[in-house]
Structure 1
Amino acid sequence: MPTALRDILPGARRLARQAGLLLGVSVLIGAFLFHVWTGLGQLPERWPTLLWNVYFSFIYAVFIVTSIRATMTVLEARVPLRSRRAVALHVGVLSVATVTAYGLATGFCKVLHGSSFSVRWQVLVVTATVTFMVTFVWSAFAYMNSFYQKLREAEAARYEARLAALRAQINPHFLFNAFNSIAALVRTRPGEAEAVVEDLSDLFRYALQASKDSGMATLGAEVKAVRRYLSVEKARYRGRLTVEIRVPEQLRPLPIPSMTLQPLIENAVQHGVGETQGDCTVSVTAERADGTLLLRV
C-alpha cells in the first residue's frame, strides 16, 4: 500500500466514525421528537416526517458538535482545568457556545428551506432543551475522558521519573573507588585490571542503554549487569565479598523494569560490606509464587 494512502486512511476512518456517530445521534433525537409530537403509532402513515426530523437533527448535530469541539480546543489551550473557577468558566462558555450553535443551525435551516422549515415555538423550546441535555452529557463524557487520559499520562510520567531516578543511582563514590581499584591493580595484576575496566564499561553501557529503551529488560540481563557490578566491587573488597546468585534459568526471560536490581545490590554492598570488617555474602534469589516474581537481595 502506498505511503500516502496509508497516511490518508486513518483520517478517513476517523471521519467516517464521527459521521456515523452524528448520524446515530440524529436518528435517536429525530425518533424521540417524532414520538413526542406525532407518536410512533403514526409512523407507517407519516414516515416522511420522521426522515425530516432526522435530517434537521443531523444539521443541528453538525453545527453544535463542531462548535463544541472548537470551543473545547480553545478553552483547553487558553484556560487549563486547574481550579474550580476554570471549570466554571468552561461550563459557562460551553453553554453559550451550545445556545449560539443552536441559533445558527435554526437560521441555517430557515435560510436553506424557507417556509418549509416552519415550527412552533414549543417545538423549538423542546428541541433546544433536548439538544442542550445531549450536548451537556456528551461534554461531560468528553471531559471525563480527557481527565482520565491526563491522569494516565501523569502516572506514566511519574513512573518514568522514578525509574529514571533509580537508573541514575549508580553512586559516584562507586566510580571513584572503582578507578582507585583499577589504578592499584594496574601495577600488580594488569590482567585483572583489564577485566575490571571491561566490567565497568559494560555496566555503564547497560545503564546508558536502559535510559534510552522502553524501561524494560529481562531478568537475565539484570542479573548480568549485577554480576558486572559485583565483579568491580570484588576488586576492591577482595576475599571479604562473596557473591551468591540463585536465579533459575526459566525465570531469566521474564521482563522487569530495567535497573531494578542495581540500587538494591549497591545498597547491600554499601551498608553491608562497606560498614563491616569481616567477610560478607551478597545473595540474589528469584522465585515465582502465585504468578508473582519475587526478588530477594
Structure 2
Amino acid sequence: MSTSPLNALQRPRRLARQVGLLLGVSVLIGVFLFHVWTGLGQLSERWPTLLWNVYFSFIYAVFIVTSIRATMTVLEARVPLRSRRAVALHVGVLSVATVTAYGLATGFCKVLYASSFSVRWQVLVVTATVTFVVTLVWSAFAYMNSFYQKLREAEAAQYEARLATLRAQINPHFLFNAFNSIAALVRTRPGEAEAVVEDLSDLFRYALQASKDSGMATLGAEVKAVRRYLSVEHARYRDRLIAEINVPEDLRPAPVPSMTVQPLVENAVKHGVGKTREACTVTVTARRMNETLVLRVTDTGPGFDTTDLDAVLNEGSGLANVQERLALFFGEAAQMTLLPQGVEVRLPLQQAAEARSNLPPEMTVAA
C-alpha cells in the first residue's frame, strides 16, 4: 500500500510533537522532584541530580504513556463508551495499567541504573502520586476529546441525514411532470422529446453530484440547473412560460447551497404559470448588497394570497425545504421573504465563501 507524501511528512512531525511533549512533562516532574528532595537552592552544586531526575522521569513517562495508549486502543475496540458501566471499566483498567507500567518502569530503572536510582519508599510514593495525577489528568482530557469527536461525528451524521432527506424531497417535484411531458412529445415531436430527456438527464446529474459533495455550489451552476429545469417545463407549458434570468457575471462564482434556486423557480412556475391560462414570465435576478447576495424569483401570475411566510411554509411547499436548507447552512444569517408575486432570499456572502474550497470543479462552472 503506497503512502502519500503528505502522510510521510505528517508522521515525523507527529512523532516530534509527542517526543517534545514527553520531554516537557519529564522536565516539569524532574524539577518538581528535585525541589522536593534537594531544593532549588542547591541546583548549582547538584545539577547532575536534576538531570538524572529528568532522565528517570522521561523513562517513566514513556512506559506509562505507551501502556495507557495501548490499553485505550484495546478498550475502545472491545468496550465502546456507551454506558456508565463502560466508562467505569475504562477507568478501572487504566488505573491498573498505570500502576503496572509504573512498576515496570521502576524495575527497569533499578536494573539498569542501580547506583543512580533511589528506591526509598518516600521517593516512590511521591513519584507514584505525581505520576498517577498526571496520568489521570491526561486520560481525562483524552476521553473528553474522544467524546467531543464522537459528538461532532454524530452531529455531522444527523446533518447529512437531514440534508439527504431534503434532497430526496426536491427531486420528485418536477420528475413526474417531466415524464408526462416526454410521453406527450415522444410521438408528435420526438426531436424535442429527446432534447427534454437530455436536459432532464443533465439536471439529475447535477442533483446527484450535489448530493455527494459538501452541499455548496456556485450561483452560476445553480443558474445552469435552472435553465435546464425551465427547458423541461417549457415542453409542458409551451408559450405560456417565459423565462428571464438576470444574474451578473461577477456574481456567478458566488457560492450558494446547491439545489436552492431551482425549488424557488419551481414554486414560481407552480403558483404563476400553473394558475393562469395567460402567458406568465418567471424572472430570476441576483444582486449584491454589501456582503449579502440578494436572490429574487418572481412571476407575473396571480401571486400569493398572503405575504406571511410562515403561513406558506406550514403548507409544506418547496419553500419550506429551501428554508430548512438555509437554516442548516447559515442559521439566522440567511433570510427568506415572501413577496406578493415571488420570493426573495438573502445570503451572507462572506460566510458562504468559507465553504467554497470544498466545491468540486464540476460544481464551479459558471452558466
Question: Match for residue 355 of structure 2?
Answer: none
String of CA shifts for 1:252-282, please: whole Å, max 9, x gaps. 1012332233344445545x25873555655
Q: Check if 1:175 corresponds to 2:175.
A: yes
Q: TM-score, normalised by structure 2?
A: 0.71
Q: CA deviation at 1:15?
A: 1.9
Q: Separation in 2 of the partners of 1:129 and 1:287? A: 66
Q: Percent identity?
A: 85
Deviation at 1:143, TM superposition (A): 1.7
> Alpha-carbon deviation of 1:126?
1.2
Correspondence for 2:249: 249
| Contact 1:43/1:50, CA 8 A, preserved across alignment | yes
Task: Kindly state the Cα deviation for residue 176 of structure 1 after the two structures are TM-superposed.
Answer: 3.0
CA distance in 2 between partners of 1:159 and 1:4 (Å): 30
**In the TM superposition, what are the counterparts of 1:55-94 in structure 2 within 5 Å?**
55-94=55-94
TM-score by length of structure 1 reads 0.86
Contact 2:241 2:273 in 1 (8 A): no
Mapping of residues 100-115 of structure 1, within 5 Å: 100-115=100-115
Which residue is 2:38 aligned to?
38
1:293 match: secondary structure: strand
Count of aligned positions: 295
| Paired letter, 1:54 | V
Q: Aligned runs of 1:15-164 on 2, under 5 Å?
A: 15-164=15-164
- Matched residue of 1:109: which SS? helix
Deviation at 1:237, TM superposition (A): 2.8
Residues 5, 294 of structure 1: CA spacing in aligned structure 2 closer, same or farther, 3 A cutoff? closer
**Which moved further from structure 2: 179-188 or 65-74?**
179-188
Whole-angstrom distance in 1 between the partners of 2:229 and 2:5: 51
Q: Which one is further off, 243-252 or 27-36?
A: 243-252
Shift in alpha-carbon separation, 1:289–1:84, aligned structure 2, 3 A: farther
Going from structure 1 to structure 2, the CA distance change for 1:64 and 1:3 (only over 3 Å counts) comes to closer
Secondary structure of 2:256's counterpart equals strand
Q: Distance in 2 between matches of 1:102 and 1:36?
A: 20
1:178 and 1:29 map into 2 onto residues whose CA distance is 73
Q: Which letter maps to 2:221?
A: A
Shift of 1:40: 1.0
* Kept in 2: contact 1:166–1:263 (CA 8 A): no
Give distance in 2, aligned partners of 1:174 and 1:39.
81
Residue 256 of structure 1 aligns to a residue in which SS? strand
1:86 and 1:289 mapped to 2: Cα distance?
A: 54
Structure 1 residue runs of 4 or more that deviate by more than 6 Å after TM superposition: 2-6
CA contact (8 A) 2:30 2:54 kept: yes
Deviation of residue 170 (structure 1)?
4.2
The one-letter amino acid of 2:202's match is D
Q: Bigger CA drift: 213-222 or 96-105? A: 213-222
2:153 maps to amino acid: E
Q: Which runs of 5+ in 1 are unaligned?
A: none
* Richer in helix (by share): 1
Q: Match for 1:163: what amino acid? A: L
